[in-house]
Structure 1
Amino acid sequence: MSMIIVAALAVLALSFAPAPGAAADAVSARQPLRGNGTIVSAHGKFEAGLFSPAGSSGRFYLGIWYKNIPVQTVIWVANRARPLSDVASAQLRVSAADGNLELLGLTNPSSPSSAPAVLWSSNMSSTTSRPSSPGSNTAVIRDDGNLVLLDGGNASNVLWQSFDHPTDTQVPEAWLGENKLTGEYQTLTSWRNSQDPAPGVFTDTVDPNGTSEFFFLWNRSRVYWRSGVWTGRVFAAVPEATNNVLFNQTYVETPAYRRVTDVLYDNATITRMVLDLTGQTKQYIWVPASQSWQFFWAAPTVQCDVYALCGGFGVCDQRSQPPCQCPPGFAPASEGDWTLSDWSGGCRRSEPLTCSRNGSTTDEFLPLNNVKLPDDSAAVGAAQSEAECESACLKNCSCQAYTFSGGRCAVWHGEFRNLEQLHTDSGASSGSALYLRLSESGLRDLRSADTGKKVGRTLWLVLAIALAGVAALGVSLFLAWRILLARRRRRSMSSEKGSSLAVYSYGDLRAATKNFSERLGGGGFGSVYRGVLKQKRKGGSTTTTQVAVKKLEGLRQGDKQFRTEVSTLGHIQHVNLVRLLGFCSAGDEKMLVYEYMPNGSLDGYLFGGSGSCPSWRERYEIMLGVARGLVYLHDGCRERIIHCDIKPENILLDAGMSPKIADFGMAKLVGRDFSRALTTMRGTIGYLAPEWISGQPISAKADVYSFGMVLFELVSGRRNSQGYGRHDNGNNAGSEVEAAGSSAFFPVWAAGKVVEGEVGAVADPRLRGDVSEEELERACRVACWCIQDQEEHRPTMAQAVQALEGVLHVHAPPVPRQLQHLASLT
């Protein structure tokens, strides 16, 4: 009989323990999770269990990750600072004593006498209502990625949840902020490096002084970025984080908490926000088509704005990869950490300084030119000259560097941080010179290395002179061949029908733009500068032509491929497209020369705040002109061109106020980098079609969607992303808009008015009713059809032109599903 009872108990015990490696649905005192076992959310979206970061050499952590994404992407880690070293001994269970969720395991499996220890516990807050039967608590993973500990006697009572204790990632429906009842903060803290989830040096937290502003902190002490306060609809400094097509971001404050959270417009979207180990918060979207994470936006946008990114004595260079370098005479303090993108340890001297107690030293200084100076300098008021400033630094053994500018001497003691190498397009100095203190031997080594290089160059020069007589004829023939080749290239490009592109040298354009001194604007593809080209006529007279020179950035194309693509663009000529006049391809420098548009861009004319108010006739002509230009790009070229970035900034106005589309063909020139350049441009996100987010192939209908968004802005005279509410009493506010509520996304409100037949309420109040009602209704209906969620429901640009011209009758459109969902959340 006893044997039967024992066997029955064994079978019962097995029924509560999942098979090794199998997925359970919950964790409890009677059903612990052992070894490689996992628990999976109800609909299979998230999974929780043990994982080991790539390359971490046998360190294991309790974490949560996406179940169906092939690239394991961890969103939460429990035992960040206390990894397991043995999976077999690991056990996640509910404590029968106090009901906490706890992780047990060995930290030193090589010791046979060691017993499993509690490496992590949920440590339920003292304010949490205690369960009547702690041993009956259960832990489950939900489909939003939240690991929750539930009261065994009341499953609706959440005793503890991972959303209250985020690590480095925020997912939709999670929150960041403060629990006022417990005093706990929900903050993001970066990983230490790519293999170690231990807390790093960067933190994202809400203002401890009680405001709605969020801070990025270095070492939990130094603020290096601020979100701006919550305005009621957006955070002041990051409107692109809230005005996008992914989610609705809101900040809420109650007596119990103050926090920000995100709610997806479409639950099928997979996105996450990560406080990266580089100190930037980065938003990513999972693109099913490419099976990869697509970068969406970052804050701060410039990586070198992250405080002390490169650690002590490190130099941040935005143009280098990786961005952190060590100055001459220094080396990484930890080569291993630097290979894992952890630069926080900074640099160390290759040779120690020589300084005695009496202040005597043989140390010298090495100038680092054109740099942004480190923070936390100390002023030396007694130093009135650079020589006195240098002397003051040398006399103090702790002084590491000095600078003298504008009659002011500043020195740095101990490790300095936040040194940045600056660059300018013209090559002129825009920063300061920092004089870095080095030992005599260290400086001698640097000079010896430089001398060796100079000696090598001298030997090559002597050799070249010796061979000059023999090679003179060959060089002459080579130069003649190059000149002939260049002439043929110019002739071949200009001889092709419809193309008359000029080929400019870098020197030509540098002179024309006065060293690129007058910047007209810029974006993800580069900066644009005003220039004046001078050309001599046969009679000796000189003519001048104003141009706009775009310096392209980030291109990896070779010269031949670049010239081929530019030659294709040279054929494209239309009254509503900015004309390409020529180009320059000199090594890494790639530039395009366009005709100059004296009236600037549409965004400046429409939203510039200068008091100008385009008439309805001007607006309608702009609508038609842009539409016709897009029809030509889509249907009138030998090879269809999808613009991919239609917005007011890319619509320029000539002397007669005719619209001309700029930046067409950029997708061909930029190639693989186009999506990165596009999505990181401030203000562009509001014009992106849904297929950009879902990862579907991009067609000409993506331009149709963007055109619809531009139509709304032309009709209303305001940015779509601006709040329309009852507190907006400026010149652009109307009673109809005020009635929409405290804040509304304009396309949502406008689409509703169009469906209701009240299109007059949508027009810019500054027009004071001076509009063509028929044209207004056409424009509004076309805009609504253009921004439909599904591509097949949108018109072609040719149909949009016919509708605007009155050739086609436009039926009342439905409100797009995505906008309907957005409207329900505002």
Structure 2
Amino acid sequence: MEEKKASITAAVIITGLVVVIVVARLSLKLSRAFFLVAGADIALILGVFVCLVIRGRYDRRRKLLEKRLVSEGRELRIEYSFLRKVAGVPIKFRLKELEDATDDFRALLGQGGSASVFKGILSDGTAVAVKRIDGEEHGEKEFRSEVAAIASVQHVNLVRLVGYCCVPRGPRYIVYEFIPNGSLDHWIFPGNGTKNCPEGCLSFDLRYRVAIDVAKALSYMHHDCRSRILHLDLKPENILIDENYRGIVADFGLSKLMGKDESRVITTIRGTKGYLAPEWLLEHGVSEKCDVYSYGMVLLEMIGGQRNVTVIENGSDKSQRKWKYFPKIVRDKLGEGKVIEAVDHRLVEAGGIDERQVKRMVHVALWCIQEKPKLRPSMAHVVEMLEGCVPVEEPPNTQMIVVDLLSIDGEDSDCQLGPKIAAMGLDVECCNIPSSSSSSFAMSMLSGR
């Protein structure tokens, strides 16, 4: 624009000077005054041409320099982006970039209580899953917990954080790598498929391998990080299956950082019913053993291809409602020497199941869901047991307090549970036990990407 303006100005000036020469010639003839005016005008015209030439050279050099700087800047950005990816440093995205990547958040992959997950393609062609966390206070807490937990860790079985985006007084966005095969629940529970993730059935060998993958991820979080990371919401919906059918632990919205010198931390009851450790429900604080308990429950669901806690309705009469607790069924089948009857019937029909591996998985799972936290193994020991590096001993006969909790109607007094819990050695006051109807659970579900 400035170049065009300068050219127009020069043309106007030259035209004006030529007009002055013509007028002087007509009015002054060939007098001395005419030659003085003509000489001055010609000098000015030459000066304008010189200025145009100098400005043209300056503009060409400026453009060349700008082009070089832009090229070098692009190379630096590419190199910086490469180094960020290599170092695992999360990128701060602009909202417009995420809107373009997700087609204005139209490709919904899954939705939970406070978050939605969308598929997106970044400008460099990278496929990502964008998690949008809604809500003011809860959204900020979940966002900070998730970024703090996963930003600095690198493990092949943990979902990789690509970046994040913060909007003032708006939703928070967390950008993860895209895992193509969705979450584990679509692969182990019949009739649990969706449009974005059709139902599948993992073979027993693949389930066993996924169990080891998840155990290694939790072991890394508990033992190999500078600060121990407690996931606190492990369930099939938060375990993803990649293109090679390996297990990837995801959704760290409820996670907690814990110092190496701390044995347990106090936090409000959050998570998902059916996977919460008894000591958390009894407000005894949380430790890495809560993740071990959740892992044991997930392991049992992988074995049986069914939810651990299901309700059997008998008509419309709620008083006739019965609960089915799968861990108790597995324990009973193990005691009868018929553990193969507890395995997912689809796997049994397909055949080729190693009963020794089934028993090993069942033993490990029953060790993990012991009511007393000190009886549960560490995740590092779980990995060794599943990989066959150490023998797996027969687990003690757990009291399975959840069976008692399920057998009590919500209107009954909590105090009658006291003797049963006290028998477990948990040493709690009878009336301090929260009932299933009074406890509040912050449900968090991250569906498959």
Q: TM-score range by the shorter chain?
A: 0.5 to 0.7
1:587 to 2:175 alignment: no
User: Hey, what's the Cα distance between the residues in 2 that align with 1:558 and 1:724?
Assistant: 35
- The answer to whether the 8 Å contact 1:755/1:813 transfers is no
Matched to 1:508, the amino acid is E
User: Hey, what's the Cα distance between the residues in 2 that align with 1:823 and 1:752?
Assistant: 19
Shift of 1:725: 11
User: Hey, what's the Cα distance between the residues in 2 that align with 1:724 and 1:616?
Assistant: 27
1:763 to 2:343 alignment: yes
The gaps in structure 2 that reach 5 residues or longer are 1-75, 194-198, 258-264, 315-321, 409-449
- Which secondary structure does the structure 2 equivalent of 1:578 belong to? coil
What's the CA shift string for 1:347-382, capped at 9, x where partnerless? xxxxxxxxxxxxxxxxxxxxxxxxxxxxxxxxxxxx
Match of 1:573 among 154, 168, 171: 154
The gaps in structure 1 that reach 5 residues or longer are 1-486, 536-543, 727-741
- Name the stretch that deviates more: 815-824 or 707-716: 815-824
User: Hey, what's the Cα distance between the residues in 1 that align with 2:382 and 2:328?
Assistant: 21
User: Hey, what's the Cα distance between the residues in 2 that align with 1:496 and 1:564?
Assistant: 22
Distance 1:673 1:548, change over 3 A: farther
Shift of 1:494: 6.3
Match of 1:701 among 264, 284, 289: 289
Matched to 1:594, the amino acid is Y
Shift of 1:691: 1.5
Distance 1:593 1:674, change over 3 A: farther
What's the CA shift string for 1:196-238, capped at 9, x where partnerless? xxxxxxxxxxxxxxxxxxxxxxxxxxxxxxxxxxxxxxxxxxx
User: Hey, what's the Cα distance between the residues in 2 that align with 1:822 and 1:664?
Assistant: 31
Distance 1:515 1:656, change over 3 A: same
User: Hey, what's the Cα distance between the residues in 1 that align with 2:85 and 2:180?
Assistant: 29
Partner of residue 206, structure 1 = none
User: Hey, what's the Cα distance between the residues in 2 that align with 1:701 and 1:632?
Assistant: 14
1:517 to 2:99 alignment: no
- Which secondary structure does the structure 2 equivalent of 1:817 belong to? coil
Match of 1:753 among 301, 314, 333: 333
- Which secondary structure does the structure 2 equivalent of 1:686 belong to? coil
- The answer to whether the 8 Å contact 1:666/1:674 transfers is no
What's the CA shift string for 1:578-627, capped at 9, x where partnerless? 11111112213321100111111111122252563221111101111111
User: Hey, what's the Cα distance between the residues in 1 that align with 2:213 and 2:100?
Assistant: 34
Match of 1:508 among 82, 86, 97: 97
Report 1:341-352 matches (<5 A). none
1:785 to 2:367 alignment: yes
- The answer to whether the 8 Å contact 1:583/1:591 transfers is yes
Distance 1:725 1:776, change over 3 A: farther
Shift of 1:674: 8.0
User: Hey, what's the Cα distance between the residues in 2 that align with 1:764 and 1:564?
Assistant: 36
User: Hey, what's the Cα distance between the residues in 1 that align with 2:138 and 2:206?
Assistant: 40
What's the CA shift string for 1:676-713, capped at 9, x where partnerless? 6x35xxxx201111122100110000000000000111
- The answer to whether the 8 Å contact 1:549/1:592 transfers is yes
User: Hey, what's the Cα distance between the residues in 2 that align with 1:673 and 1:513?
Assistant: 38
Matched to 1:509, the amino acid is L
Shift of 1:824: 9.9
- The answer to whether the 8 Å contact 1:497/1:571 transfers is no
Matched to 1:621, the amino acid is R
1:811 to 2:400 alignment: no
Matched to 1:547, the amino acid is V
Shift of 1:551: 1.0
Partner of residue 126, structure 2 = 545
- The answer to whether the 8 Å contact 1:690/1:789 transfers is yes
Report 1:216-235 matches (<5 A). none
User: Hey, what's the Cα distance between the residues in 1 that align with 2:399 and 2:239?
Assistant: 29
Partner of residue 210, structure 2 = 622
Query: Of Structure 1 and Structure 2, which has the larger fraction of its residues in helix?
Result: 2
- The answer to whether the 8 Å contact 1:498/1:570 transfers is no
Partner of residue 35, structure 1 = none
User: Hey, what's the Cα distance between the residues in 2 that align with 1:794 and 1:498?
Assistant: 35
Matched to 1:502, the amino acid is I
Match of 1:744 among 317, 324, 328: 324
User: Hey, what's the Cα distance between the residues in 1 that align with 2:306 and 2:373?
Assistant: 26
- The answer to whether the 8 Å contact 1:505/1:584 transfers is yes
User: Hey, what's the Cα distance between the residues in 2 that align with 1:708 and 1:565?
Assistant: 23
- Which secondary structure does the structure 1 equivalent of 2:119 belong to? strand
User: Hey, what's the Cα distance between the residues in 1 that align with 2:206 and 2:394?
Assistant: 25
Partner of residue 120, structure 2 = 531
Matched to 1:688, the amino acid is L
Shift of 1:499: 2.7
Query: Of Structure 1 and Structure 2, which has the larger fraction of its residues in strand?
Result: 1
Report 1:381-460 matches (<5 A). none
1:776 to 2:365 alignment: no
Matched to 2:347, the amino acid is L
Distance 1:529 1:817, change over 3 A: same
- The answer to whether the 8 Å contact 1:755/1:812 transfers is no
Report 1:160-199 matches (<5 A). none
User: Hey, what's the Cα distance between the residues in 2 that align with 1:496 and 1:615?
Assistant: 34
After TM superposition, the score normalised by the length of structure 1 is 0.35
What's the CA shift string for 1:121-163, capped at 9, x where partnerless? xxxxxxxxxxxxxxxxxxxxxxxxxxxxxxxxxxxxxxxxxxx
User: Hey, what's the Cα distance between the residues in 1 that align with 2:180 and 2:85?
Assistant: 29
Match of 2:135 among 541, 554, 571: 554
Report 1:120-519 matches (<5 A). 498-519=87-108
- The answer to whether the 8 Å contact 1:602/1:648 transfers is yes
Shift of 1:758: 2.7
Partner of residue 605, structure 1 = 187
- The answer to whether the 8 Å contact 2:159/2:249 transfers is yes
User: Hey, what's the Cα distance between the residues in 2 that align with 1:558 and 1:753?
Assistant: 44
Match of 2:380 among 792, 798, 801: 798
- The answer to whether the 8 Å contact 2:121/2:128 transfers is yes
What's the CA shift string for 1:26-60, capped at 9, x where partnerless? xxxxxxxxxxxxxxxxxxxxxxxxxxxxxxxxxxx
Partner of residue 41, structure 2 = none
Partner of residue 288, structure 1 = none
- The answer to whether the 8 Å contact 1:493/1:499 transfers is no
- The answer to whether the 8 Å contact 2:93/2:165 transfers is yes
- Which secondary structure does the structure 1 equivalent of 2:309 belong to? coil
Shift of 1:822: 3.0
User: Hey, what's the Cα distance between the residues in 1 that align with 2:143 and 2:394?
Assistant: 45
Match of 2:227 among 635, 639, 642: 639
- The answer to whether the 8 Å contact 2:84/2:90 transfers is no
User: Hey, what's the Cα distance between the residues in 2 that align with 1:789 and 1:668?
Assistant: 21
Larger-gyration structure (1/2): 2
- The answer to whether the 8 Å contact 2:231/2:256 transfers is no
Shift of 1:493: 12
Distance 1:666 1:613, change over 3 A: same
- Name the stretch that deviates more: 806-815 or 619-628: 806-815
Partner of residue 309, structure 2 = 721
What's the CA shift string for 1:98-124, capped at 9, x where partnerless? xxxxxxxxxxxxxxxxxxxxxxxxxxx
- Which secondary structure does the structure 2 equivalent of 1:687 belong to? coil
User: Hey, what's the Cα distance between the residues in 2 that align with 1:564 and 1:698?
Assistant: 16
After TM superposition, the score normalised by the length of structure 2 is 0.62
User: Hey, what's the Cα distance between the residues in 2 that align with 1:666 and 1:820?
Assistant: 23
User: Hey, what's the Cα distance between the residues in 2 that align with 1:504 and 1:546?
Assistant: 15
User: Hey, what's the Cα distance between the residues in 2 that align with 1:505 and 1:804?
Assistant: 44
Matched to 1:766, the amino acid is R
- The answer to whether the 8 Å contact 1:643/1:666 transfers is yes
What's the CA shift string for 1:168-187, capped at 9, x where partnerless? xxxxxxxxxxxxxxxxxxxx
Shift of 1:575: 1.1
Partner of residue 247, structure 2 = 659
Distance 1:696 1:496, change over 3 A: farther
- The answer to whether the 8 Å contact 1:643/1:667 transfers is yes
CA root-mean-square deviation? 3.8
- The answer to whether the 8 Å contact 2:266/2:285 transfers is no
